[in-house]
Structure 1
Amino acid sequence: MELALPLWFEVGSFVVLLLVLAFDLLIVFKRPHIPSPKESALWVAFYVGLALVFALLMLLIGDAEHAGQFLAGWLTEYSLSIDNLFVFVIIMGRFAVPRKYQQEVLMVGIVLALVFRGVFIVLGAGLIASFSAIFYLFGAFLLWTAFHQAFGKHDDEGAKDSRLIRFARRRLKVSDQYEGNKLRTTVNGRRMFTPLIIVFLALGTTDLLFALDSIPAIFGITQSAFIVFTANVFALMGLRQLYFLLGHLLEKLVYLRYGIAFILAFIGVKLVFHAMHDNTLPFVNGGKHIEWAPDISTWTSLAVIVGAMAVATVASLVRLHSSGTTVEDAIHGDDEPETTTAEAAPAATSPEDPRI
């Protein structure tokens, strides 16, 4: 189905989103600070409201089908971005990034995520246009990712150095002290990188791996590159403020990963069914369409996504309450004192983390 939206709306949307992101960047780098819970909540509400207004505009200017596709795609990417955010929390603690400068670091992580997802959107759209059977591969990949999400080990995720980080530690001259948001500093007359370079590498490799999950997931909901990209932008906007709003509560949402795994598995099955309807492989049913494969509608997908995240969140909060911990205590956690010294992690003995 072709997107029933005029060109001026698509171009105008990109311009407005670019201006909003530029404004957000300007605030971060002009006024580095630790946002209060109230400030963070207002910004998160603003970005969520902006996404809902955009969906309404798509309904009024386009049609209900594509408005529903945007909502389902946005919620899917938002849930995956929260999973991404959980690893960001661990990375910040792992490298002892001062809270005052975590806004800038998070913004760089979000920009990198947008760049990587933009590249994968272009590649994914090209693959779909030239090879429709790619949906079989996308579906299988999401099913494998869902299994890993639900049953893989996550206790040390983000807490260990990957090969890239260990290589950077060996090859780059990195100081022990943070110098605000500077990447370069001078120590005893020698030019060196600050620990921020290692943090950015960790965030970048994490963003790359999460993009591998998120792009096939949203292409299972819509094949419109415009919807895919805008849903990703709206899902990433406000993520920085959500980090400061939820704080350590992210670590307490123990069932969230199961909700995300269920969503990924559902979309993976949907992709396989879609591939069966549009089959181009001669060794699958003789290259003919498989009539018994159900056609899962956009609104069914939206209901499943909302339901899975609602059940996972409520179940996590019920468990949190039963343990005697309040939501406020979980948000603040055991905040460590402000520090400007990066952790001196071992370079050769840390095992590889699959996510970073």
Structure 2
Amino acid sequence: MNDLSFAVPFWVWGAVTVGIGVMLAVDLIAHRDNHVIGFREAAIWSGIWIAMGLGFGVILLFWQGGEVSSTYYAGYLIEKALSIDNVFVFALVFSFFAVPDAYQHKVLFWGVIGALAFRLVFIFIGAELLQLFFWTAYLFGAFLIWTGWKMAFSKDEEVHPDRNPVVRLVKKLIPTDPNFHGDKFFTHTNGRRVATLLFVVLVAIEATDLIFAVDSVAAVLAITTNTFLVWSANAFAVLGLRSLYFCLAGLLRRFQYLHYGLAVLLAFAGVKLILSETPVGKLPIPLTLGVIAATITVSVIWSLIATHNQPPASGTEGRPAGAGEGRAGGAGEPSAGPAPQQSAAGRSPCTKDSP
């Protein structure tokens, strides 16, 4: 599989990774008091993360030229678009478990660290497979096309994050208190150390993102198998995931047609990956960028026009209805609100009710 190849010194890998760590540390320090994040603050942070992601592309432009920079932007855009689907599921998990608003950022912070780790592993494994075995391009491509079809045409399903197999396994292996205890993941009850409900929420977030990481990484690998570009595109897109959640959580119902656009992007990535191992070869990066930008724009505008008469979401602006309430029996929090029924974007990583 022919692809962009350029030397990336070890110190560059180290500098980018350390830079990502520094940004995570700054974000953690800025929100160490567990305050409720409003729309204005989330929008400012989102602007900062997006500016950093776009700025990195400018650095690549001066360092390696336009083709490398354009390839990075294509990967960044498709990963950023797919990350909106993560926001739908975060809203579902937080609302289902009725996570208090002040603790959501902490869960997302550690969830993002897990997401970066998952993606780093998948990137190297996926890129190596594509380089060694040409037929893996057909497998990955078919997987992306199937995922896109499922996202576009699967029927609504009632989902329950607490029935996720990973969550159920953790509950069996680790003694768990079914209540919140402030922002603690672990506490002591009756003289023994137990996991809190907030830890269960974190496990649910990590388990769902593990599934998202597979098709997200595969979609970027369809654009390039250069591990440095795939990693940087994923990392800069995922870094802003927390702020994106607090920006969009109260507006999710306005994006009811976005999943069609995401489905098209996944299917396009699959076709592009398959074509790369045929006489057609890799599609030009400008064409790829154009398809990604046009698909996102059309699906967002379509959603906003179709829902412009909808009443505003219930609950506090910038947060999903039901979030901010505590589960019954928690440390002073009121009882939980109703659980949402599905991931609005169609990629449901949780198990559904048995018939």
Query: Aligned equivalents of 1:308 and 1:104: distance in 2?
Result: 33
In the TM superposition, residue 173 of structure 1 has moved relative to its aligned partner by 2.7
Note if contact 2:167-2:207 (Cα within 8 Å) is conserved in structure 1: no
- Sequence identity percentage: 35
In the TM superposition, residue 51 of structure 1 has moved relative to its aligned partner by 1.1
| Distance change >3 Å, CA 337–CA 70, structure 1 → 2 | closer
Cα RMSD of the aligned pairs, angstroms, is: 2.6
Query: Aligned equivalents of 1:249 and 1:270: distance in 2?
Result: 32
Note if contact 2:251-2:313 (Cα within 8 Å) is conserved in structure 1: no
Structure 1 residues 224-233 or 247-256, which shifts more? Answer: 247-256
Question: Which residue matches 2:297?
Answer: 310
Question: Which residue matches 2:287?
Answer: 300
In structure 2, what residue type is equivalent to 1:313? V
In the TM superposition, residue 100 of structure 1 has moved relative to its aligned partner by 0.6
SS class of match (2:224): coil
Note if contact 1:59-1:66 (Cα within 8 Å) is conserved in structure 2: yes
State which of 14, 26, 44 in structure 1 corresponds to 2:29.
26
Note if contact 2:83-2:238 (Cα within 8 Å) is conserved in structure 1: yes
Query: Aligned equivalents of 2:313 and 2:194: distance in 1?
Result: 44
Note if contact 1:174-1:195 (Cα within 8 Å) is conserved in structure 2: yes
In the TM superposition, residue 242 of structure 1 has moved relative to its aligned partner by 1.3
Query: Aligned equivalents of 1:184 and 1:73: distance in 2?
Result: 37
Question: Which residue matches 1:136?
Answer: 138
Note if contact 2:148-2:266 (Cα within 8 Å) is conserved in structure 1: yes
Query: Aligned equivalents of 1:56 and 1:102: distance in 2?
Result: 33
Question: Which residue matches 2:16?
Answer: 13
SS class of match (1:192): strand
Question: 1:169-248 counterparts in 2 under 5 A?
Answer: 169-248=171-250
Q: Which has the larger radius of gyration?
A: 1
In structure 2, what residue type is equivalent to 1:222? T
Gaps of 5+ in 2: 337-346, 351-355
In the TM superposition, residue 163 of structure 1 has moved relative to its aligned partner by 2.6
State which of 269, 272, 275 in structure 2 corresponds to 1:273.
275
Query: Aligned equivalents of 2:111 and 2:117: distance in 1?
Result: 10
SS class of match (1:248): helix
In structure 2, what residue type is equivalent to 1:152? S
In the TM superposition, residue 36 of structure 1 has moved relative to its aligned partner by 2.1
Query: Aligned equivalents of 1:328 and 1:163: distance in 2?
Result: 30
Question: 1:314-325 counterparts in 2 under 5 A?
Answer: 314-323=301-310, 325=312
- What per-residue deviation string (whole Å, max 9, x for no partner) do you get for residues 223-249 of structure 1? 110000000111111211111111231
Q: TM-score, normalised by structure 2?
A: 0.86
Structure 1 residues 316-325 or 250-259, which shifts more? Answer: 316-325
In structure 2, what residue type is equivalent to 1:23? V
State which of 251, 254, 268 in structure 1 corresponds to 2:253.
251
In the TM superposition, residue 33 of structure 1 has moved relative to its aligned partner by 1.1
In structure 1, what residue type is equivalent to 2:80? Y
Gaps of 5+ in 1: 277-289, 345-352
Query: Aligned equivalents of 2:307 and 2:166: distance in 1?
Result: 36
Query: Aligned equivalents of 1:154 and 1:160: distance in 2?
Result: 18
SS class of match (2:187): strand
In the TM superposition, residue 332 of structure 1 has moved relative to its aligned partner by 5.2
Structure 1 residues 151-160 or 137-146, which shifts more? Answer: 151-160
The number of residue pairs the alignment matches comes to 333
State the 4+ residue runs in structure 1 displaced beyond 6 angstroms. Answer: 326-330
| Distance change >3 Å, CA 121–CA 97, structure 1 → 2 | same
In the TM superposition, residue 57 of structure 1 has moved relative to its aligned partner by 1.0
In the TM superposition, residue 96 of structure 1 has moved relative to its aligned partner by 1.3
In structure 2, what residue type is equivalent to 1:225? T
State which of 147, 150, 158 in structure 2 corresponds to 1:148.
150
Query: Aligned equivalents of 2:327 and 2:206: distance in 1?
Result: 22
